[in-house]
């Protein structure tokens, strides 16, 4: 199945990702990006080579539940990270902590999907279906990019803001004294370090 993305500031339309596919791009006169894994015509140029620059390990995630494929979305993490200049391992770490890679996860507070986007956040990011893992990952990548930009590229603060919102973080420019948020940051960074280390080991 072909995939085509139309991007201006954020992803507005998505179709299914085909695993292990090179991605081709052209930018039209309006500035919209057109991405596809099945280029038609010379206007498309190769933009992302499958798994270019990254190697996801086959080892299981930390405390990932059984019968969950923690690698099902690796290609999507890669592509979303490329679009928004975010490490795919960070996106994967957030998914591991937020939903344990369950695209149908729903929290008691109303957060939805693989990346646990709140309805207002999803609307702001133009994510039409937070339960769609591709839309969720691209939306979360855009969200993390915005948080990093707003917080001086401080990874710890951006991860904290993903959990508790940017206002309490930006007001003090430190991780709030909220036990849940402090634990959340530690857990996400543990996943992040683990995924990076596993990738480095599998690359050798």
Q: How far is the CA of 121 from the CAs of 62, 131, 163, 166, in angstroms?
A: 27, 13, 12, 12
What is the distance of C-alpha 113 from the center of its chain? 12
Q: Annotated catalytic, 98?
A: yes
- Pick from 187, 186, 183, 150: nearest CA to 165: 150
Strand order across the 4-7 sheet: 11-13, 4-7, 33-36, 23-27, 45-48
Q: Which of 52, 63, 98, 135 is catalytic?
A: 98
Active site residues: 98
């Amino acid at each position: 199945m072909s995939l085509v993305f139309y991007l201006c500031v954020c992803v507005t339309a998505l179709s299914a990702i085909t695993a292990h596919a090179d991605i081709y791009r052209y930018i039209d006169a309006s500035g919209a990006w057109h991405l596809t894994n099945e280029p038609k015509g010379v206007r498309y140029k190769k933009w992302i080579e499958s798994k270019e620059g990254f190697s996801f390990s086959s080892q299981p995630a930390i405390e990932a539940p059984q019968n969950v494929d923690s690698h099902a979305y690796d290609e999507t993490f890669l592509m979303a990270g490329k679009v928004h200049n975010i490490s795919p391992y960070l996106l994967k770490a957030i998914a591991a902590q937020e939903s344990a890679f369950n695209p149908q996860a729903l929290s008691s507070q109303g957060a939805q999907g693989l990346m646990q986007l709140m309805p207002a956040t999803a609307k702001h990011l133009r994510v039409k279906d937070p339960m769609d893992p591709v839309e969720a990952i691209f939306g979360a990548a855009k969200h993390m990019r915005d948080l990093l930009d707003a917080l001086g590229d401080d990874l710890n603060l951006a991860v904290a803001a993903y959990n508790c919102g940017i206002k309490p973080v930006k007001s003090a420019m430190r991780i709030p004294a909220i036990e849940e948020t402090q634990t959340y940051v530690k857990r996400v960074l543990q996943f992040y370090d683990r995924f990076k280390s596993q990738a480095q080991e599998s690359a050798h």
